[in-house]
Amino acid sequence: MNTFLGLCLYGIGTYLVAEFLGRKRRIGYAQSLFWCLLLTPILGIWIILLSPRLKSSI
């Protein structure tokens, strides 16, 4: 049961990081999701924040 909860939290954290940070960066959603799954969501945040922001089209 404890392992299931940990995997659920890991998956939710990965999704949230990729969705809310990855889409606004050059790295994109798919690559940010990949790095979060491969490493951890915490290290994924670090990698995503190193990627430059996308220019807004206003």
Asked whether 15 and 25 are in contact (CB, 8 A), the reply is no
Considering the domain boundaries, does residue 4 fall inside one? no
Domain that holds residue 32: 12-50
Considering the domain boundaries, does residue 56 fall inside one? no
Q: Decide: pTM greater than 0.75.
A: yes
Considering the domain boundaries, does residue 26 fall inside one? yes
- DSSP bridge pairs for 53: 25
Q: How many domains does the chain have?
A: 1
- Run of H or E including 23: none
Asked whether 29 and 20 are in contact (CB, 8 A), the reply is no
pLDDT digits (tens, 9 = 90+) for 37-56: 999 899 999 999 999 988 87
**Burial, 1: exposed, middle or buried (Cβ in 10 Å; 0-12, 13-18, 19+)?**
exposed
pLDDT at 11: 92
